[in-house]
Amino acid sequence: MNVFTMKFESLRGFRDIYPEDAEPRENMFNTAKRVAHSFGFQIIDFPSLEPLDLYRIKSGDELVSQTFSFVDKGGREVTMIPEATPSVVRMLTSKKDLQKPVRWFSLPKIWRYEEPQSGRLREHVQFNADLFGPDTPDADAELIGMAATILDSLGLSGNYEIRMNHRGIMEKILKSMDVQDTSRAFSVIDRFRKLGRDEFIGALDAAGISGKSAELISKLAATRVESVYLKQAISEIVPLTESLSDDLDRVAKTMEMISLFTDSMVVIDFSVVRGLSYYTGIVFEAFDVKGELRSILGGGRYNGLSTLLSGQEIPAVGFGMGDVVLELLLRRNGLWGRQAAIDGYYICMASDAVEMYSMRVAAEVRKRGKTAVRDSGGRKLAAQLRAASSAGLTKSIIIGTREMETESLTIKDMSSGKQSTISYSDFMDTI
C-alpha cells in the first residue's frame, strides 16, 4: 500500500524556535522587562488583530500594502498588527481616567508582508515602550535612556551608537531652503544611507528639489555631530534663527541627559528622519558601531497621533525594538546562548521501584521554589546522568533502592562531579 506523506515546513519569513534559542530569547526579553519596570513602566497587551482602518488613518497606503490583512466573516477589513503604536494609542484614548504621565511597554508579535532578508522577517517580536503626557527634554531622555539601558544590560555597551535628529528642526531647515513638500523630502532623506551621492541628488530632483537646495540637503544629511558642535554645524548650512536655535538647545540638552545613562556614543545624524509622517519632534535610532546591521531600535516623539485617532491631544514619545536584529547583534558579540546553570535538580532513578519516592522528592523540591526535572523514560542510570549534564541544572539527585529504604538522597554537583548522601529531611531543610 502506498502511503503519501506531506512534509510541512515553516513559511518563508517565519521561524521555528527550539529550546537552545528560546532560552536566550527569554533571557533577552526578561532583561528588557526588568529594565522597563525599573524605569516605572507597566506592561500592557492588546489583540493581534485590529481594524485595517486604524493603519490607514495612521500610516497611509504604503504600510497597508505590507499588511497580512483580510475580510473576516463579518465583512470587516482586519489585519494582523504591523506595528504596536496604533493599538497602544487606541487603548490610551479609550480609557478616560488615566493619570498622566502614562508609562507603558509591551512585547507583541508583529507581522509585515515584506521581502525577508538579514535582520528582517515577516513575523517578529517587538519590545515597544511609550511615555504619554510630558513634552520635555527629560521625558525624551528618559525614554531613550531606557532603550540604552536595555542594550547595556544585555552586555552591548560600546557596541552600538544612538543617532538622533529632530523633525521640527528639519522642517525649519527645509522650509528655509524653499522646499515646499517636506514629506517627499523626508522620504528621500530617509534613504540617504542606501543611495550613492548622484542617486540621492537625482531622487531629490524627482521630488522637486534641485540646484543649491539639493546640494545643501546632501551636505546636511551627511552631517554627524556631537551636541557641543551642533549649532556650529547647522550655521554652516543655514542661518540660525531664534526659533531654530531654541530647538537645537533642546536637542543638545536631551543628548547630554542621555549620556548620563550610557557610555555608548550619542550623536546627531541628520539623515535619521524616521520616514513616517506622524513624528513631530525628536527621532532616533540605534545602530551597531560596525555598521553591519540595520537599525537595532527606532522611535521618536509623535504628539499628534492621539488627536488623529480620537481628537484628544496627548503628547507622546516611544520606541520599538525588534528581536531579529537584536539577536544577530548578541550572537556576533558572543552574548547568545544559555546562561549560567539553573539552580535546580535533575532527578535520576536507579530502578523503577523508586518511582513514587522520586515523584515525592520532585514535588517537595518544587514546593520550595526550586526546579526539579524527573527522568521518566526508564533509561539506564548512565544515560540519565548524561541527560542531567546537558540539562543546564546545577545538581542531580540520584535515587536507588538504598536511598528509598533509608529515606536519603545522593546529591551530585554537576560542575565538580562530587557526590554526597544526605537524609531526606536534612536535604529539604537546606533548600
Which long-range CB contacts under 8 A does 93-102 form with residues at least 24 apart? Answer: 93/306, 93/309, 93/310, 93/312, 93/314, 100/132, 100/133, 100/134, 100/314, 101/131, 101/132, 101/133, 101/134, 101/139, 102/130, 102/131, 102/132, 102/133
* Model pLDDT, residue 59: 63
pLDDT at 297 over 90: yes
Question: Scanning the structure block, which residue is given the C-alpha cell 535546580?
Answer: 344
The CA-CA-CA angle for residues 313, 316, 318, to 5°, reads 155
Report residue 61's pLDDT band, with 50, 70 and 90 as the boundaries: low
Residue 101: asked if its preceding bond is cis (omega within 30°), the reply is yes
Question: What values do phi and psi take at 75, rounded to 5?
Answer: 80, 15
C-alpha cell at 375: 527522568
Mean pLDDT of the 21-27 span: 93
| Distances, alpha carbon 2 to alpha carbons 7, 23, 105, 240, 266, in Å | 16, 41, 54, 80, 65
Virtual CA dihedral for 402, 406, 411, 417, nearest 10 degrees?
Answer: -40
Are the C-beta atoms of 297 and 286 separated by less than 8 Å? Answer: yes
Mark 236-260 as b/e (b = at least 16 C-beta within 10 Å): ebbeeeeebeebbebbbbbbebbbe
- For 250-266, the pLDDT digits (tens) are 999 999 999 999 999 99
Which amino acid makes up residue 16?
A: D
Question: What values do phi and psi take at 188, rounded to 5?
Answer: -75, -45
Domains and CATH numbers, the chain: 19-46+84-332 (3.30.930.10), 342-430 (3.40.50.800)
C-alpha cell at 301: 516623539
| Distances, alpha carbon 322 to alpha carbons 39, 75, 107, in Å | 20, 32, 9
DSSP state letters, 31-84: HHHHHHHHTT-EE----SEEETHHHHHHH-HHHHTTSEEEE-TTS-EEEE-S-S
- For 167-199, the pLDDT digits (tens) are 989 989 998 888 888 888 888 998 898 898 899
Are the C-beta atoms of 338 and 20 separated by less than 8 Å? Answer: yes
Q: Helix or strand or coil: residue 158?
A: coil
Percent of residues, the chain, with pLDDT higher than 90:
71
Report residue 3's pLDDT band, with 50, 70 and 90 as the boundaries: low
Question: What values do phi and psi take at 64, rounded to 5?
Answer: -55, -35
- For 116-162, the pLDDT digits (tens) are 988 899 999 999 999 999 999 999 999 999 999 999 999 999 999 99
Question: What mean pLDDT is reported for the chain?
Answer: 91
This prediction has a pTM of 0.88
How far is C-alpha 148 from the chain's CA centre?
11
How far apart are the C-alpha atoms of 12 and 123, rounded to whole Å? 10
Report residue 321's pLDDT band, with 50, 70 and 90 as the boundaries: very high
Beta-carbon contacts of 66 under 8 Å, excluding residues fewer than 6 positions away, are 82, 112, 113, 114
Question: Scanning the structure block, which residue is given the C-alpha cell 539553573?
Answer: 342
- For 76-112, the pLDDT digits (tens) are 999 999 999 999 999 999 988 899 999 999 999 999 9
C-alpha cell at 99: 493619570
How far apart are the C-alpha atoms of 128 and 107, rounded to whole Å? 6
How far apart are the C-alpha atoms of 91 and 97, rounded to whole Å? 12
- For 349-406, the pLDDT digits (tens) are 999 999 999 999 999 999 999 999 998 878 899 999 999 888 888 999 999 999 999 9
DSSP 377: S
Are the C-beta atoms of 49 and 80 separated by less than 8 Å? Answer: yes
Report residue 13's pLDDT band, with 50, 70 and 90 as the boundaries: very high
